[in-house]
Amino acid sequence: MGLGIGIGYVVKSIFALAIIIFIANYSLKYLNTFMTKKGKAIQIIERTAINKSSSICIVEIAGTYYVMSFTETRNEILRQLTEAEKEAVIKTQETLEVKQEKPDFPNGKPSQFLKQLQSRYQNLYEKRK
């Protein structure tokens, strides 16, 4: 009889712990909306890692584009982009956003594209046998 009562306490404790974790997670997500500022004055447009601890970025600060170096110990503006370079960066970003929104299906037919992929997969699977 003592064993059954102990299991009940363990189950109740696990259930209470799960509820506490859920409430804490939800509360932190809610509070995070107030803590993060959604400012548009400074944006990292593109980042390229050089090695584990350093990277080069294109950064927009109040409408002006800069190439910056970021390391663990120092952040440095390497140069300011010209208007022509700025327009090229903006055009590239717009092109990437359009490609991310719409998948590029051959001939605009997703069902036909999926059938082609399925047949290719079956061919590769049969070759492995």
Whole-model pTM? 0.47
The pLDDT tens digits for 23-71 are: 999 898 888 777 766 667 788 888 888 888 889 988 888 888 899 998 8
β-bridge partners, 77: 68
* Residue that wins the pLDDT comparison between 108 and 31: 31
Instruction: Give the range among 9-18, 22-31, 70-79, 113-122 with minimum mean pLDDT.
Output: 113-122
Q: What is the mean pLDDT of residues 6-16?
A: 89
Amino acid (one-letter) located at 70: F
b/e 65-88 (16+ beta carbons within 10 angstroms → b): bebbebeeeeeeeeeebeeeebee
Q: Per-residue confidence at 9, pLDDT binned at 50, 70, 90?
A: confident
**pLDDT tens-digit readout, 64-103:** 889 999 888 988 999 998 888 888 888 888 777 666 555 5
H or E segment at 43?
strand 42-51
pLDDT score, position 128: 63
Instruction: Please give the pLDDT value at position 18.
Output: 94
Q: Look at residue 1 and tell me whether its pLDDT is greater than 50.
A: no
Backbone phi, psi, residue 77, to 5°:
-80, 120
